[in-house]
Structure formats: C-alpha cells, structure tokens
Amino acid sequence: SVPIIAKLTPQVADVVKMDMFRDESFDFVLCEGDPLSYRSDPPKGITELVRVAKAGGVIVASVDNLYSLVRYCLREGHMDRLTTLLESQWEKGGGGSLVSEFPVYYFRPEELIQRFEEAGCGIEKIVGKNMFTGGLGDRLKDSETFETVQRLELKYCDSPHLVGYAGHIAVV
C-alpha cells in the first residue's frame, strides 16, 4: 500500500489568482494557514478554490474567526476596535505580529458556509480549531490539563454551537 503522502504533489499559488491551473485540476485542495483571511478579495479566493477542485473532490480551508476576536476585544476592553471590527469584519494590522502590516478579514462560521455554497461547493463539515486553548498559556504544560483539553477539542470541534468559539474555523 502506497502512503497517502506519496500520492500528493504540493502546489503553491495565490488563492485569488490561480490562472495557471485548469478548472477541476485537483482531487484535494488544502488552503491552510488562513490565506483567505489575508487576501483583499476573500470571495474570489473561495471561487478559485472551488474552480480548481474536481467535481467530487475535497477542499479543506481555514480562516480567522470573527467571534474569537470579538471575545478577545471584550475581555481586553478594546471597545473602539470591537465596533469597527463588527461593522466591517476587516482589521488593518490584525492577525498578530507576523502579519501585522496586512489587513485581515474575519469570517463568521455561517458566512463561511454560505460563501462556499454560493461558489457551488457542498459543505461536509465545519470545525473549530483552537476551541479551548485560548488563554490557558502555561497551564497546558501540565500533561493532565493538556490531555483533557485535547480530548475536549476533538470531541466538540464540530459542534455547530461551539464552532464560533474557536480561534479559527475550517470547512471540509
């Protein structure tokens, strides 16, 4: 049996401009690391992902979650930042120090589903990533705490009621 990794041929492209690929080029499309959140036209990126995936193929795409940042702004008292964010879902210099010069678009879980469906892609599942780890810091160094949180993450990551709690959301 051939390992799955041996069957993959990674390709790198700008998610909003994949002209080098024909329609329905790939059985599997992975868009990880939230590139849809860091591009000037997230809907165009979604359309391109769907375009290059073969009919019946699989797309896995992750984005930054609006509700996670809302929770952070409320906890830290950033009311001015919160108001702007909720009005536009864009934030200049968001996303942490590695990408602070780029504007970031924060998706709502229901919006992510809607945008993929509008592009002609059925959604198998939406999952939250980093559901319960935010704010735990050094407490995760304790192996019992880490294992408990990991079990909870795996158990509840696809709960429709908790996906909006996660730092990132992904569609499959």
pLDDT in tens, 40-55: 899 999 999 999 999 9
| 66 token code pair | 């609006």
d(CA 154, CA 133): 12
Provide the residue count of the chain. 172
pLDDT value at residue 96: 52
For 96-135, what is each residue's pLDDT tens digit?
544 567 789 999 999 999 999 999 999 999 999 988 887 7
Q: What is the mean pLDDT of the chain?
A: 90
- State mean pLDDT over 61-65: 95
Q: What is the dihedral of CA 27, 160, 127, 67, to 10 degrees?
A: 130
Q: Write the DSSP assignment of 117-164 as a string of letters.
A: HHTT---S-EEEESSS-TTTGGGGGSHHHHHHHHHHHHHHTT-TTTGG
Query: What's residue 97's pLDDT?
Result: 42
Residues 6+ apart with CB under 8 A from 32: 60, 61, 62, 170
Distance of CA 145 to the CA centre of its chain: 25
Which SS3 state, helix, strand or coil, does residue 35 take?
A: helix
Q: Using an 8 Å Cβ cutoff, are 62 and 166 in contact?
A: no
Pair 171, 113: CB distance under 8 Å: yes
What pLDDT does 135 receive?
77
d(CA 121, CA 169): 17
> Mind listing the pLDDT tens digit for each residue in 139-162?
999 999 999 999 999 999 999 889
Three-class DSSP labels, 49-85: HHHHEEEEEEEEEEEEEHHHHHHHHHHHCCHHHHHHH
> Tens digits of per-residue pLDDT, 3-35?
888 888 889 999 999 999 999 999 999 999 899
